[in-house]
Structure 1
Amino acid sequence: MKLRVWISAFRLRTLPLALSCSVMGSLLALSQDKFRWIIFLLTVSTTLFLQILSNLANDYGDTVSGVDNENRLGPQRVTQSGKVSRKEMRIAIGVFAFLSLVSGSLLIFLGLQNITQIILFYVFGIASIIAAIKYTIGKNPYGYAGFGDIFVFIFFGLIGVAGTYYLHTHEFSAWILLPASTIGLLSSGVLNLNNMRDIKNDSESGKHTLVVRLGQKRAKAYHFTLVVVAILLSVAYTVHFYNSATQWVYLLTLPLFAWNLAVVARNSEPQALNSELKKLSLSTFLFSIVFGLAMVL
């Protein structure tokens, strides 16, 4: 069925990771008694549309560039396999770009009143749509130049968490950048695993991801740094806003990250990283929930 093909193209397993920023920002707003359901629902829908848009654009762009081929180790892409035509995929990309714009516009206009703030968030929103598309599409896709990690950190970390928090509270504190950076770093860690898995094919296809530039050994050290610094930033935030011992409950998730680091350190078969990619995504989502709720309790 065509529906199953499109669901496969949406890559639903990536959605929990994308939602981590909305969950984190919203729960931190709840900890300040400034949570708004309409803002939460619209940040979730906008984030989902943007992530699906990014997945579809990635599917299309990697096929056009030739990066998606029989040597790729990840899940089969629907455009490269011929299950969806390039024209159909371009239409789908346009549809989700439109849905992202509509949902984001509703979020901005219902969440803000000040015209300067509205313009600023609109710029962020348009930039998010462009970033989702330009990762692998166009003459000089930034994902092929090794800048994917930076964009993930910014849009699914700093802007995703701090922006969500601001839309709820209409307040900004530099401290919010700590949990925002945590989600951004862990999200970059997921992308790093993805690129470690595909290092051989990416290198041969001219896709110069950060992993290709670093090499597998240094990419493992980089991954270790991303995860450890992410946790340390969360600890620093907790220390600053400490009220009770229940705020440390998120430390129960640390074995999940420790196990991930151990597996990555020992890995010698890129294909085996596919399962770790899924696990780190879900661990990050779980962490965002537990950390946020710990700040509420």
Structure 2
Amino acid sequence: MALPDLRTLALLVGIARHGSIGAAARAEGLSQQGASERVRAAEALLGVPLLWRGARGSELTPAGTVVVEWSTRLLEVAGEVEVALGALRADEQRHLRVAASMTVAEHLLPRWLVRLRSQSSDVPVEVSMTATNSAGAVAAVLGHRADLGFVEGVEAPRGLAWADVGTDELVLVCAPDHPLARRTALGAAEVAGLGLTSREQGSGTREVLETALAAHGLSMAPPAVELTTSTALREAVLAGAAPAVVSRRTVAAPLAAGDLVAVPLADLDLTRRLRAVWVGRRTPPAGPVRDLVAIAAAG
């Protein structure tokens, strides 16, 4: 059997306390007519009369007295649940678990988190961050080990809601004394034949390169070496390792200083999307998840 809603039960308790529908209605912020309609609806729903109405006020029937007794206990529990839910919401607002791809973790997320903290001074947000590759970030969000992920790549991951938060450009870099440094342009087939200093399988950087080559019917040659961070790629190439495809953000300083050279590519589009991902509906959950997504999208 259906029960009256909590506000109607609170109204009945108020009638018992105040002795009239009018006084109880005022206490609940209702009009007297609205309160009377709620009582009649409750009587129809429960199938028993709850009030005797007279010129001097309203009096509970025996059934109404029992319903009020039960309602009092139910409202007490509901109040406890409301407080507990508020505590849960507050805890969620204070703690945010983020899993981010290496490029985002190294070059973008720190600035975003500073802005998030500055916007939430009333309820400081405590953030724990896992730096991983894009596949690892997706797995963390799907496995509920992270509330929010940031990934890079060509296609949006399946099974998660997502939002674009920017773009990133990959470049092929080499040392200034490498033979490729003198090339005016390099074709897709030539890139495919290079033994690169490369990110590992599952990274967004490697996915973008493999996808771009696949569009020409090509696949990557076996890497000369595999490393797990963009910074490691940069440092390896600076030390004389094989060329690498890496985010321009990672090599901006050595490119400007002439310590690395970007090799022009003739027919490969190595632009990739940066995305925030989360579990649930298309709109990010309210609170720090939504706030951080908005900060990231704003750049």
TM-score, structure 2 as length reference? 0.21
Q: Flag the structure with more relative contact order, 1 or 2, with Cα contacts below 8 A and sequence separation at least 6.
A: 1
**Which is higher, the Rg of structure 1 or of structure 2?**
2
Larger proportion of strand: 2
